[in-house]
């Protein structure tokens, strides 16, 4: 329910493992709603997940962080599940597929010196800058 409320209130959403307690059908429905809003230009999403089904079915780009640091980038059509697992696990050196040249619009959202405090364990996390473009 919380995800659905945010879909209608926000223009930028960062769901962290949003389907962990949903059935496959429920996950497809929620992620389908999110994808429709993204394609309509009404929403930007940074999806945090380790589920390949979601990555390959709903994501445009893949950025892998390992121990809080950038590990790899690709797009779902350029890697298979085996390579994706190696990107996540870091078991061997992975060739990072370069981004295709494309024209980018002006930033839709720019965040600088962001600080978020988790309510459960009162942990603080910071990111220096983030930019979302069309």
For position 115, what pLDDT does the model report?
64
Kindly report the average pLDDT of the chain as a whole number: 75
What pLDDT digit, counting tens, does each position of 31-58 carry? 998 889 888 888 888 888 888 888 888 8
- Every domain of the chain and the residues it spans: 2-104
Query: Could you tell me the CATH superfamily of domain 2-104?
Result: P-loop containing nucleotide triphosphate hydrolases (3.40.50.300)
For position 126, what pLDDT does the model report?
55
The pLDDT of 3-17, averaged and rounded, is 71
% of the chain exceeding 90 in pLDDT: 4
| Helix/strand/coil (H/E/C) assignment for every residue in the chain | CHHHHHHHHCCEECCECCCCCCCHHHHHHHHHHHHHHHHCCCCEECCECCCHHHHHHHCCCEEEEECCEEEEEECHHHCCHHHHHHHHHCCCCCCCCCCCCCCCCCEEEEEEEEEEECCCCCCEEEEEEEEEEC
- Tell me the pTM: 0.57
């Amino acid at each position: 329910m919380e995800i659905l409320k945010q879909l209608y209130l926000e223009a930028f959403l960062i769901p962290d493992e949003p389907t962990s307690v949903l059935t496959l059908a429920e996950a497809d429905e929620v992620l389908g709603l999110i994808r429709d809003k993204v394609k309509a230009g009404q929403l930007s999403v940074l999806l945090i997940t380790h589920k390949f089904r979601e990555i390959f079915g709903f994501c445009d780009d893949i950025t892998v962080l390992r121990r809080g640091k950038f590990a790899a980038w690709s797009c779902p059509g350029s890697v298979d599940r085996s390579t994706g697992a190696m990107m996540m696990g870091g078991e061997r050196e992975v060739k990072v597929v370069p981004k295709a040249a494309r024209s980018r619009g002006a930033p839709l959202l720019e965040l600088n010196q962001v600080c978020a405090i988790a309510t459960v364990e009162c942990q603080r996390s910071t990111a220096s800058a983030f930019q979302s473009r069309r």
